Structure 1
């Protein structure tokens, strides 16, 4: 019973975290797009495309976690890997300024952002392991 409680708590925490960042990005879409544009990695219409693609990915992951948990965990893990690779590329090419995720995360320096993303990847990895191999 205790293992299921930890699993459920972490899954709920993940859904709340993704929902929080998703809602903040949607409510301040202009700021989110500006942060993407400021990197210089994308220009013109590509900024809009990348921003909306990120929102679609995040929203889809939230829905999958709620309604198709197993697929949602895998999709969320892949999404977080992509987001983490993105910030690493920005950092190593000296394009990273601040985190543009919104809410309390907005403005985080790279190392804090990397730490949070890494922790989320570890949590999702644990949830995937428990879901597929731990008899949850």
Structure 2
């Protein structure tokens, strides 16, 4: 049963990060433009940050899909989702009219929905970490 739960979590997280990376890559110039509008990212070089974000998303998918690296993938996913949830919450509560640079349907979600969505995936990633610790 635990193996099936882990498989479902891997599929869900892999779908999320694959979808996010593809949409960011498909309209890369919009992704860069939206990142440039973030008051929390003004000090960072978007030409380094943007490919780093997409690369990290794809790395998580790769790590999750091999049993030898799955636990690391869950840890990285948990960290990324927690940081991004905090990032979105900060934008929502302290700034106004900041576009989300997620792309696709994720970028169209209202901030409160997106924050809850991210927290759910953070919990899924944490569950994956805990279940893989017991393996």
TM-score by length of 1: 0.86
Alignment correspondent of 2:30: 31
Q: How many aligned residue pairs are there?
A: 133
Alignment correspondent of 1:61: 60
* Shift, 1:45, TM fit: 6.8
Extract unaligned runs of 5+ from structure 2. none
Pairwise CA RMSD of aligned residues? Answer: 1.9
Task: Out of 45-54 and 24-33, give the one that drifted further.
Answer: 45-54
* Shift, 1:115, TM fit: 0.5
TM-score by length of 2: 0.86
Q: Does the residue aligned with 2:45 lie in a helix, a strand or coil?
A: helix
Alignment correspondent of 1:13: 12
**Does 1:79 pair with 2:112?**
no
Whole-Å separation in 1 of the counterparts to 2:97 and 2:62: 29
* Shift, 1:12, TM fit: 1.1
CA offsets 1:23-45 (integer angstroms, 9 cap, x no match):
11111111111111122333487
- Classify 1:127/1:45 alpha carbon distance in 2 versus 1 (closer, same or farther; 3 Å): closer
Extract unaligned runs of 5+ from structure 1. none
* Shift, 1:48, TM fit: 2.3
* Shift, 1:65, TM fit: 1.3
| C-alpha contact 1:40 1:95 (8 A) present in aligned 2 | no
Whole-Å separation in 2 of the counterparts to 1:62 and 1:5: 18
CA offsets 1:68-127 (integer angstroms, 9 cap, x no match):
111111111111111112112222321453432112112221101101100001111111
Alignment correspondent of 2:130: 129
Alignment correspondent of 1:105: 106
Higher relative contact order (Cα pairs below 8 Å, separated by 6+ residues): 2
